[in-house]
Every structure is written in C-alpha cells, then in structure tokens.
C-alpha cells in the first residue's frame, strides 16, 4: 500500500497525461492503476461506477479486496509477492461496494516502473444487449430479491470461493458478507458438513447436473434443524462450468411434521399390535357376530368352547352353542336390553362345549357399528368351576353353620384392630341373650366376664401369644348366673406378625367344670382320708408292736417254764400266731410308708448271690416241710457288687418265694437271677420266681398286686394270707426303679418276673 502511495504522483505525471488521460478517464471499461502489489493508486470513472466506491475510497484499496480471479489466476492479487508477469487476462468476479459480484474479464498489463494497469471488462462476459446501467439495475434487483428471501442462496466459483451470498446466508453463519465473499466455504462450514458438501459441490461440477442434498444440523440451542438444498452448475458461454449456485431452505417444520406422522403411524401400529395381543390373550372370551354369524373370536373364546380352528368354530351359528333354555334366556335378555329394561348388563347362560359338556358362562354383549354395519360384540367368562365352588362353599357354609349350631357353641369373629366383635352364631343358648341384645364390641365381652376372671382373661387376649388362644373363664348369663366357657380362638396375623383378628368359639363347660371342681374336692378329701389312714396305720403298728413284743417275750419264758405237752402245744400256737401278727404289722407299716412315700432305701454295696442264699435259708424250713424241690440259678456274669438296699432286695425275694411255696402243694419252686444287660455301670437284673402250684386265672392277674387282694376265699383260707405281700413287693420294686409282671396258668404254676436296675461296683464279687 505504501508503495502505491509513493508511486501515485509519478504515475499521474509520467504515465497518464494529455490524451491518454482523457482516454483513461472516459473509457467505458473499468481501469485501475496499481503498483506491483496491486495496490490501487487510481481508478477511472467506469471503475468507480462499476465498483461503487468513491474516488477517495478506492485509491487506498488493494485489488485483492475487489477482484477475485478464477481458475489458475485465482491467486494473482493475493499474497504480498510482487507480480512479475508482463501481463495476462483471466476471468474474475468483481465485488462491488454493495457486496454484489459481477463477472468480468480482467486484463493485467505491466507498464514500465512497476506500474500495472488492470482493466475489468464486464461487457464480454455479461453479454447482453442491455446497457451496463440496466445490467447493474437488474443485477441489483436480483440480489436485493435474493437477500429478501428466507432461503440460503449463494454462488461460488468452481473451487468453492463465494461470489455471492444473500443476507439470510450471512445471518445464519453470523458472518458479515465481506467475510464470506471471496472466502472458501471450507472456512465457513463445520468440518463434517464441509466434507459432505465438498463432494456434492464437486459432483455438481463434474456431472454438470444439479445435485440435491438434505442436512440435519444441531443448532446452538440444542434443537435439530433440517435443510433441503440444490447445487446447480453455472455455465459459461462455452458450456463450461464456471461456478455453482446453491439454494437451500429450512425444512425443519416439514421434517418434524413427517417425523410426527411417522411416529403417530408407528404408535398406531404399536398400539394396534398391543390391542390385538391384549384381545387375543384376554382372560375373557371375546367374539363378534353379525346376526347369527360369528365373524371374530379370540383364542380364549375358542378354547373356552373347545375349539382350535376359527373356521370350524365360525361354521356354526351362535345359537348352535346355546342350550334351548339359554337361547330363550338370551333372547328375552337381548330384547329387554334393546329397550333399556334389562335388569343386568350381563347374563349367566349354559353353553354347549365341543365335548358335549355344558359350561356356564357370564355373557356381556354390546352392539358396535363399523363402516355403517351393526355387529354384536360379546364377552364371555367361564364360571363353571366358580359356580361349582360357590355351590360347594354354600354347602360347606351351611354344614358348618349346622355343626356349630348343633354343638351349641358360640362362634365369634373379633377384629383386634378396632375392637369389633361379631357373633357368628346365636348367643341365646349359651348366654341367654339374643344376637341383637349383645353389642358387637369387645367391651360387651369383658363386661360379661366374671370379676375374678377378668384381669387374667383380658390380659391373655391382649397378649395374643401363639397361634391359638385357649382359655377358660366365666361369663354372666342374662339371668345372672355365671356360665363356665372354654374359649378357643385362632389368631390371624399381618405381615409383621401382629394379631389383627381372632376367630373362635365359646363352649359351655359348666358341667365339666362343676364335675372337675367336685372331683378335685373329692380327691382332696380322699387324699386327706388316705393320709389319715396311713398315719393311723403307722401309729397303730407301733402301738401293736409294743404289747406284741411283750407277749412274744413272755411266751418264750412260758415255753421254758416246765409246761406239759398239751400246754407246750398251746404255747407254740400262741408263738406262731404272734409271729404271724408281727409280720402283718411289719407289712402294714411298710405299706403305709410306701404309700405315703416315706420309705427310705439304703444305698450300700451288696452281693446279690449272698443275698439270695440268705433269703433261701429263711424259707428253707417251709419248702422242705412241704417236700418241695428248690431250683436256684445265678448268672455267673454277676461277679460284682451292686449298690442298693440289701434288706429290701431280700424282702422281695423272700416274699415271692414264700408265695411260691404257699401256693404250691407238689412239684418244685425255682429262682433264677439273670443279668439282662450291663451298660455304663448299670446292671439290669432279672429275678424269676417260679412254681408248679395252683396258678392264677388270666383275668385275675391284673388284680393280685392290689392291696388286700386275694383270689377266692378258699385259696386264702386254705393257704393263709393277708393279700398285702404283693402290693408291698410291687411298691418296693417301683421305688427301686424296676417293674414286676407275672406269667401264670391255673393248675400248672406261676412265674413272677422282676426287673431291677442297679449301679454296680466292679470286681468286688
């Protein structure tokens, strides 16, 4: 630029003077005088007119700001390199002050002194019969029109350098026109968009045909916009393409509409599909008929009627599926329905299943109009099972009611959350009140409770522990007396385990309760009587024993006082009777002690074998006197001492042996002592005492262990006994933790089997 100013005067003086200057001034071709950097120093009137710049403006401009060359010469005015060619001419666009462009034939001529004359001839390119002014007006009008359009309009050279862009275009890219014209669209477009458009642009040039495009862009505000456009080749006279115009417009609204339509279409399709699936798989059978003809049935309906194939199903008329009664029923209902007098909008009818069975359905119908035709749409619900269940339930409910009624119990349903209680059966029988006389509240129940039972029973109910409540208490009858009831109710709980309901029954147990009370008092009386008896027995035994000892002592003295034979005989009878009496007294004392649980056992080691031998010794006199044989067996494994009460053990053995001898007149008696088991220091000993005596009848076996029990008077009188021995034996054995049983056959003999557990002392036998 500086260079240009320096040269200006020189140019004026030397280069253009006189006639040349006039030619320069008046030339209709626009002429610019520049330095070698194409910095304008002067322009003629035509140049000023063409460019639209005034004389003051133009002289400091660079040609590169005004003329955009095309083709190989495109860089001619750009850059800071000095132009060295002698001259050249080329096609270019001249950008006017108003930013419109005009095609021009540019010729550059170098004059001496580094001065260039650049002329722009628009007449060659914009060939027209019109005058240049007119051309400019048209061009201006076109550009003004394009500026006014809400379309993106631009055109550029074959390389994509803008020659024109309308206002809408510059506004969209937020760039002033001068920052667009002469620039390549590569600088303006985002990279991706440029890539796409470069291909389209080149294709348009290459194919010499219009190319359309559609763009989807995300705007700054995040919304999506759509544009549709067209690249059109611009042809020179020689049919070569010298540029490309683009016109595109915003189709966002159209696109959105299209998208909405598509979406609506998809949704319709989807919802249609949804409804189809819904209807097909509906739990109720759905059918549509036209007159009597079935025109649609969903799968559920066909399955309900026993069909798989619609053709087969629809080959019958709807009435064919109804029993004659159902046909009548449906007809009446439909008729009433049509005049709005039907009681119910559904009806229960029997349908003939394919198998011939009848099924009960609930039918609901409505008329629908499609394309002017009337159809009936019906919904069916199979209630066959439900009906059966309902009937069964009714039957069960009735039965339950009868049972509860018959039992005379009062059933209740108590809601623990609100304190409401409902009396499920008539309370009259139990409490004398009619149902309506009893308030449905738990308060009523607690008011009827006996004061002595109230605290306990209310607490028990409120605690609601366990699955069931089982309580006994008294409720006041209407006539004032109290009724003993047994209350048994099941608690129903919520998810957290809190009891929310109780269902149960009140049973009148007054009879049982009174009997129980009587029984308890009888037992108490009996107990005290038995206690008194035992005390009496213990006392009397001691009382008898003292004089008996005296009698025994003096009888012995009497025996050695020189009695004659007859007196000796009397004396020995007295002695025998005394011994017998003493035994009886001892037995009574034992029995009394066993019964009152006062008997204390010794716990000392003893030898079972020795105890047996000594017991046999005591009875030997008796069996020998009766000429009976005695068989004895002791298990050799019992080689240890046992811990227990030796005297009581001997008492058991002697008693059983004495009985065996007593009730056997011939044959033998036997005693076996066996070790039935030995475990962890405990030996289970079995004692078997057998005889070949009179035996015991089977039906009497259970009685012989009872106190004072004797079989038949003749036996007792014949064998002499008190009927107390076995009950003492049994009592002793049980205190020792054992048991006794008997096997016997009349006239063949008896076997008493005793099992006794003993702790043992090892290796002391």
Binding site for ligand ADP (CB under 6 A): 659-660, 663, 691, 693-696, 704, 709-711, 715-716, 721-727, 750
Using CA atoms, how far residue 170 sits from 99, 156, 188, 243, 333, in Å, is: 12, 14, 10, 19, 77
Name which of 714 and 763 has its Cβ closer to ligand ADP: 714
Nearest distance, CB of residue 727 and ligand ADP, angstroms: 6
Q: Take residue 39 and report the two structure tokens written for it.
A: 């910095």
Stretch (H or E) spanning 743: strand 739-745
Q: What is the C-alpha to C-alpha distance for residues 364 and 369, in angstroms, rounded to an integer?
A: 17
Provide the 8-state DSSP code for 83.
Answer: P
Alpha-carbon gap, residue 65 to 85, rounded angstroms: 20
Find where tokens 């003004």 sit: 144
Beta-carbon contacts of residue 201 (< 8 Å; ≥ 6 apart) = 160, 185, 231, 244
For CA atoms 245, 251, 255, 257, give the dihedral sign: negative
Burial class (CB in 10 A: 0-12, 13-18, 19+), 328: exposed
Whole-angstrom distance, CA of residue 231 vs CA of residue 186: 16
Q: For ligand ADP, give the closer residue by CB, 644 or 749.
A: 749
**Minimum distance between the CB of residue 492 and ligand ADP, rounded to whole angstroms?**
59
Choice between 42 and 691, CB closer to ligand ADP: 691
CB of 754 to ligand ADP, least distance (A): 13
Cα pseudo-dihedral 520, 521, 527, 532, rounded to 10: 180
Query: Smallest distance, Å, CB 558 to ligand ADP?
Result: 28
Q: How large is the angle between the packed helices 646-662 and 608-625, nearest 10 degrees?
A: 30
- Considering the complex, what minimum distance in angstroms separates the CB of residue 671 from ligand ADP? 12
Q: Which is nearer to ligand ADP, 521 or 716 (CB)?
A: 716
Please report which residue ranges of 1-129 form alpha helices under DSSP H. Answer: 2-10, 19-26, 45-51, 55-58
Return the closest-CA partner of residue 539 out of 581, 589, 580, 590. 589
**Cβ-closest position to ligand ADP:** 721
C-alpha 79 chain-centroid distance: 80
Q: Least distance to ligand ADP from the beta carbon of 717, Å?
A: 10
Judged by beta carbon, residue 346 or residue 722, the one nearer ligand ADP is: 722
Q: Which is nearer to ligand ADP, 677 or 716 (CB)?
A: 716
Shortest Cβ 733–ligand ADP spacing (Å): 13
Residues 635, 639, 642, 645, CA torsion sign: positive
CB of 715 to ligand ADP, least distance (A): 5
> C-beta of 470: minimal distance to ligand ADP in Å?
45
Alpha helices in 449-564 (DSSP H): 451-463, 510-559
Residue 245 or 710: the one with the smaller Cβ distance to ligand ADP is 710
Q: How far is residue 47's CA from residue 68's CA, in Å, rounded to a whole number?
A: 15
| Nearer of residues 380 and 591 to ligand ADP, judged by Cβ | 591
Give the C-alpha distances (Å, rounded to integers) separating 88 from 23, 47, 657: 21, 19, 162
CB of 713 to ligand ADP, least distance (A): 10
- The CB-of-544 to ligand ADP minimum distance in angstroms stands at 18
Adjacent-strand bridge partners of 317: 293
């Amino acid at each position: 630029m500086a260079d240009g100013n320096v040269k200006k005067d020189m140019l004026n003086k030397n280069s253009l003077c006189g006639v040349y200057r006039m030619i320069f001034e008046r030339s209709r071709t626009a002429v610019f005088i520049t330095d070698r950097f194409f910095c304008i120093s002067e322009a003629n009137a035509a140049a000023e007119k063409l460019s639209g710049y005034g004389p003051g403006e133009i002289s400091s401009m660079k040609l590169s700001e005004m003329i955009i060359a095309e083709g190989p010469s495109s860089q001619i005015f750009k850059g800071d390199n000095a132009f060295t060619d002698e001259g050249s001419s080329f096609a270019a666009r001249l950008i006017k002050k108003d930013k419109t462009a005009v095609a021009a034939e540019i010729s550059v001529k170098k004059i001496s002194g580094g001065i260039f004359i650049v002329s722009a001839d628009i007449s060659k390119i914009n060939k027209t019969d019109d005058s240049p002014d007119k051309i400019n007006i048209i061009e201006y009008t076109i550009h003004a029109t394009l500026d006014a359009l809400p379309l993106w309009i631009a055109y550029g050279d074959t390389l994509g350098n803008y020659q024109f862009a309308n206002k809408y275009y510059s506004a969209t890219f937020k760039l002033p026109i001068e920052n667009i014209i002469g620039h390549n669209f590569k600088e303006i477009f985002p990279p991706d968009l440029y890539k796409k458009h470069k291909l389209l642009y080149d294709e348009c040039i290459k194919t010499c045909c219009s190319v359309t495009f559609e763009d989807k862009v995300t705007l700054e505000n995040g919304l999506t916009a759509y544009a549709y456009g067209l690249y059109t080749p611009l042809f020179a006279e020689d049919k070569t393409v010298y540029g490309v115009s683009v016109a595109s417009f915003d189709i966002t609204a159209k696109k959105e509409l299209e998208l909405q339509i598509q979406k609506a279409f998809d949704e319709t399709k989807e919802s249609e599909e949804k409804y189809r699936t819904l209807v097909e798989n509906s739990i109720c059978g759905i059918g549509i008929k036209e007159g009597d003809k079935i025109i649609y049935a969903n799968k559920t309906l066909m399955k309900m009627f026993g069909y798989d194939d619609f053709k087969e199903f629809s080959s019958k008329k709807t009435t064919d599926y109804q029993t004659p009664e159902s046909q009548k029923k449906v007809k009446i209902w439909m008729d009433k329905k049509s005049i709005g007098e039907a009681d119910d909008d559904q009806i229960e009818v029997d349908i003939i299943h394919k198998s011939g069975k009848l099924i009960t359905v609930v039918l609901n119908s409505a008329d629908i109009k499609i394309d002017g035709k009337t159809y009936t749409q019906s919904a069916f619900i199979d209630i066959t099972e439900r009906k059966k269940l309902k009937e069964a339930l009714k039957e069960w409910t009735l039965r339950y009611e009868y049972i509860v009624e018959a039992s005379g119990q009062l059933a209740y349903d108590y809601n623990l959350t609100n304190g409401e209680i409902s009396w499920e059966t008539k309370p009259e029988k139990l409490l004398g009140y009619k149902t309506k006389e009893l308030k449905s509240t738990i308060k009523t129940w607690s008011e009827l409770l006996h004061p002595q039972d109230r605290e306990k029973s209310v607490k028990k109910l409120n605690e609601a522990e366990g699955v069931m409540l089982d309580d006994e208490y008294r409720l006041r009858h209407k006539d004032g007396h109290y009724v003993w009831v047994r209350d048994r109710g099941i608690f129903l709980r919520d998810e957290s385990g809190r009891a929310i309901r109780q269902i149960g029954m009140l049973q009148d147990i007054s009879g049982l309760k009174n009997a129980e009370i009587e029984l308890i008092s009888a037992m108490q009386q009996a107990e005290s009587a038995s206690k008194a008896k035992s005390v009496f027995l213990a006392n009397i035994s001691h009382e008898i024993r003292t004089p008996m000892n005296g009698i025994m002592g003096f009888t012995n003295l009497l025996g050695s006082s020189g009695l004659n034979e007859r007196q000796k005989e009397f004396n020995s009878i007295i002695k025998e009777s005394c011994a017998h009496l003493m035994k009886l007294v001892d037995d009574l004392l034992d029995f009394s002690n066993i019964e009152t649980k006062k008997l204390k056992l010794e716990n000392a080691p003893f030898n079972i074998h020795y105890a047996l031998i000594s017991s046999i010794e005591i009875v030997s006199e008796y069996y020998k006197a009766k000429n009976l044989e005695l068989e004895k067996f002791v298990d050799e494994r019992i080689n240890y001492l046992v811990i227990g009460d030796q005297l009581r053990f001997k008492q058991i053995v002697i008693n059983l042996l004495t009985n065996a001898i007593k009730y056997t007149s011939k044959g033998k008696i036997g005693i076996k002592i066996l070790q039935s088991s030995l475990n962890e220091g405990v030996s289970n000993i079995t004692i078997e005492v057998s005889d070949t005596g009179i035996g015991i009848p089977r039906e009497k076996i259970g009685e012989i262990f009872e106190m004072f029990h004797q079989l038949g008077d003749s036996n007792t009188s014949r064998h002499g006994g008190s009927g107390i021995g076995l009950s003492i034996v049994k009592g002793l054995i049980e205190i020792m933790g054992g048991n006794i049983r008997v096997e016997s056959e009349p006239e063949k003999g008896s076997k008493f089997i005793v099992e006794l557990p003993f702790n043992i002392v090892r290796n002391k036998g």
